[in-house]
Chains A and B, each alone.
Chain A
């Protein structure tokens, strides 16, 4: 069964460093998303991406965040200058939007900023 894959599973970085989280969405999906979950809290929407541009973003998704689809398969989230409060689980998701906006999630990348 097709699935969304994310790499790495765990990333440790120093405060102020740039990180890139990578995702390979399900191949026939057209909509791509990033969510984050700070430990013990709910899952929060960051950004959605369709037709090679951001379609919606939350207040969390400020100038230090960016997304890119550099080729036909990968979808990346870049955090330019990480802060301690960026430590969280980051989930990539994709969907077709056909028949409803359900999102299929990857297994997540645990980002730890030290």
Chain B
């Protein structure tokens, strides 16, 4: 069975500062994909960043980057230069090549203060 754990129900960051959201996961698969999705108050799910497990290099998308530690099964999201528009629920998700489903964590609510 696959599990995704987000241990921080809520996080807060000041505008222009950096924040890191934690995610740990468990899977018996050797080949899998990890994702961070953002869900603003509109509740649409927006893909932020993805990481292939076979790639050692950490993914980066503009102000968003990940710290992927395969041995520790850890996949944290770093948001640099935080903006008010980053305020949202952030979900970590896992997919292995043996299935089609995304397995989501419970989410971290990010508050950005001026």
| Bound: A56/B100 CA distance, A | 7
| Known A-B contacts A43-B91, A91-B45, A108-B44; A100 and B50 likewise in contact (beta carbons under 8 Å) | yes
Chain A residues, CB < 8 A from B43: 37, 89, 107-108, 110
Q: In the assembled complex, which residues on chain B have CB atoms less than 8 Å from the CB atom of A89?
A: 43
**Pair B105/A42 contact, Cβ less than 8 Å:** yes
Find out whether the CB atom of B44 lies under 8 angstroms from the CB atom of A107. yes
- Select A105's contact among B44, B52, B100, beta carbons within 8 Å: B44
- Interface size of B by CB at 8 A reads 24
**Whole-angstrom distance from the CB of A38 to the nearest CB of chain B?**
12
Q: How many residues of A contact B (CB 8 A)?
A: 27
A67 to chain B, nearest CB (A): 13
A37 partner residues in chain B, CB cutoff 8 A:
43
Contact A102 B35 (CB under 8 A): yes
Q: Main SS of chain A's interface residues?
A: strand
Chain B nearest CB, measured from A64 CB (Å): 19
Chain B nearest Cβ from A42, distance in angstroms: 5
Among A43, A44, A55, A100, residue most surrounded by chain B Cβ atoms (within 10 Å): A43
Q: Does B30 contact A (CB under 8 A)?
A: no
Q: Does A102 contact B50, Cβ atoms closer than 8 Å?
A: yes
**Contact (Cβ within 8 A) A48 B101:** yes
B16 contacts partner chain A, Cβ-Cβ < 8 Å: no
Q: Are A41 and B106 in contact (CB under 8 A)?
A: yes
**Could you tell me the distance between the alpha carbons of A101 and B34 in the complex, rounded to whole angstroms?**
10
Q: Is B47 interfacial (CB 8 A cutoff)?
A: yes
Complex CA–CA separation, A58 to B101 (angstroms): 9
B residues near A100, Cβ cutoff 8 Å: 33, 50, 52
